[in-house]
Amino acid sequence: MPQPVKRRIDEYRIEIERVPPMRSRGLVYANRAIERTIEHDNVLQQVVNVACLPGIIGPSIAMPDIHWGYGFPIGGVAAFSLDEGVISPGGVGYDINCGVGCILTGLEEKDAALHTEVLLAALFNEVPSGVGSKGGITGVTEKEFRRVLEQGAGWAVRKGYLPAEDLDAFEDGGCIPGADPDAASARAYERGMPQLGTLGSGNHFLELDVVQEIHDRKTAEAFGLFEGQVVVLVHTGSRGFGHQVCDEYVRDMIAASARYGIDLPDRQLACAPVRSREGREYLGAMAASANFAFANRAIVAYLVRRAFERVFGLSFERLGMRMLVDCCHNVAKVERVEWEGRVVEACIHRKGATRALPAGDVRLPARYAVTGQPVLVPGDMGRMSFILCALDGARETFFSACHGAGRLLSRHEAKRVSRGRKILDELRHKGIRAMAASKATLAEEIPDAYKDVSDVVDTVSGAGIARPVARLRPFAMVKG
C-alpha cells in the first residue's frame, strides 16, 4: 500500500494525494493542534486504505476526532456507489449505532446542586451499567424483540416509554428502514434480548451537564438552551446484539471479498458489493441493530426521567425534560447526496461520525428546519462538551461532523498511565461526582486519554461544517 503523501490545504484541512491503487484522495479535517496528535499514528494509512475500496465516491474523509479503529479509522466517513461500491462492517464498527441523546431539563444548576449525590445514586441504580449489564426492562419476548428490531424508538413510543413528541428528535425518526430480524443469529438474540435499557461499559456514560456558555443565542433559544441549565447526555449503543452481528458478518465478508475478486488493502476492510446478497443481508442485520440501539437509548431516557421524578417529586413534564436530539455514530445508510453537480444515491459509512444536516434540508424535522440539526460533541469525562449546529459546509463531508474528542491513548496505555491514581478523587477535585460499575473503565477513560475537544470543535467550526451553540460542563456522571 502507498504511504500517505499529505499537504495542508488550509488551516483546517489536509489532503492525502491519490496514489495508485487509491481510487480517490484522502481529506482529513485537522487544525495544527489536531495534526500533531495524529503525526505518529497509523490512522492516515487507514484513510489511504479506505480510498482503495471499489466504488468510492469522493474522498476518503476523516473528522478531527480521528483515531485508529478496526478497518476504517474512527472518525472516518466514506460514500460508495450503489452499483459499483461496497458495504464493509469495518466501516460501521462493532457497536452499531453507538450514539448520543441529549435530554433537556427546566432545572438550573442551583436546583440540582443540593440533590447531586442522591440523583447520581438514583441514576446508577435505575440504569444497569457495566460489562454484560442486563435488566433495564424485563419480560420482552422474542416476538416482541423482533418488533424492537423493526420499529426502533417507535416501539418505545407504542409501549409508553417515550413521549410521541420526542420521536422527531431521533435521527430518521429513530428507525432505519430495511431492518431484517431474520438476518441476525440466534446468538445475537440471546445476547441482546436481556440488554434493552442498559448502558454497557467502555466509553458509554450518563452525564449531567450544566450549560456553561452560550455561543449562539438565537439558535440556543430555538433549541431550548439557556445558561445554567441542567442537561443529560446518554451515550450507548446496540450492546451485545450489534457486537454479535458485526463479529459474524466480518467473518462472512472475508469470504465474500474473495468471491467477488475484491483486492483488500487490509483484511479488516472485508466487504461485499452493496447490491450483492451478502451486502443486502448485512444491511438488514445492521439496520436491525441500529433500531435496537435507538430503542435502547429511548428506554435509558425513560429510566433517567424516572430517576429525576423520584428525586425531585415532580413529573418529568413539570421538570421540563424533553429530547433535544438523538444521533447515530456508527452506521451505514443509503442517502441522496450531491456529487460532481448531480444528486446520487450512495451508501454513506459513518464510523465515529454523526450526521449533520444544515437548515433547509428536507430530512430535518420541522423544529430544526430553520436552524439546522443539533450536533452533539461530548468531550472527556473531566472537561467540556459542546452542542453545535450543522452548516452548509457539511455538504463537503456528505453531511457529516465529528462525534467527540477522539482518543489519544489506547485503553491499555490509559490504564498504564492511570496506575496508582485515584481517578474518582481527581474528578471530585474538579467538582465532578462519578460512579462507575468498574474501576478499570475509569482508568481507560481518564481525561488524559482524549484529545482536547475544543481543538476538535475549532476545526469543524473553522471548516464551516458546524458552529458552536453552547458549551457544557460536567458535574456528575455514571460510567459503565
Is pLDDT at 290 greater than 90 in this prediction? yes
Q: Collapsing DSSP states into helix, strand and coil, what is residue 51?
A: helix
347-370 pLDDT, tens digit per residue, is 999 999 999 999 999 999 999 999
37-61 pLDDT, tens digit per residue, is 998 778 999 999 999 999 999 999 9
Is pLDDT at 154 greater than 80 in this prediction? yes
141 occurs within a structural domain: yes
Residues in a beta bridge with 351: 76, 330
91 occurs within a structural domain: yes
DSSP β-ladder status, 13-16 and 6-10: antiparallel
36 occurs within a structural domain: yes
Catalytic residue set: 403
Is pLDDT at 1 greater than 80 in this prediction? no
Residues 213, 225, 75, CA angle at the centre, nearest 5°? Answer: 75
286 occurs within a structural domain: yes
235 occurs within a structural domain: yes
124 occurs within a structural domain: yes
Is pLDDT at 178 greater than 80 in this prediction? yes
Q: What pTM value is reported for the model?
A: 0.97
1 occurs within a structural domain: no
Q: Is the separation of the CB atoms in 251 and 146 below 8 Å?
A: no
pLDDT score at 195: 95
Q: pLDDT confidence of 134, banded at 50, 70, 90? A: confident
Helix (H) or strand (E) holding 436: strand 433-436
Once rounded to an integer, what is the mean pLDDT over residues 181-197? 97
Cell of 78: 466514506
371 occurs within a structural domain: yes
pLDDT score at 40: 74
303-314 pLDDT, tens digit per residue, is 999 999 999 999
Cell of 266: 487490509
Residue range(s) defining the domain that contains residue 292:
6-479
Full DSSP string of 155-198: HHHHTTSS-GGGGGGBGGGG--TT--GGGS-HHHHHHHGGGTT-
216-242 pLDDT, tens digit per residue, is 999 999 999 999 999 999 999 999 999
Whole-number Cα distances in Å, 208 to 18, 299, 452: 44, 17, 19
Number of structural domains (the chain) is: 1
pLDDT score at 420: 87
| Domain containing residue 152: CATH number | 3.90.1860.10
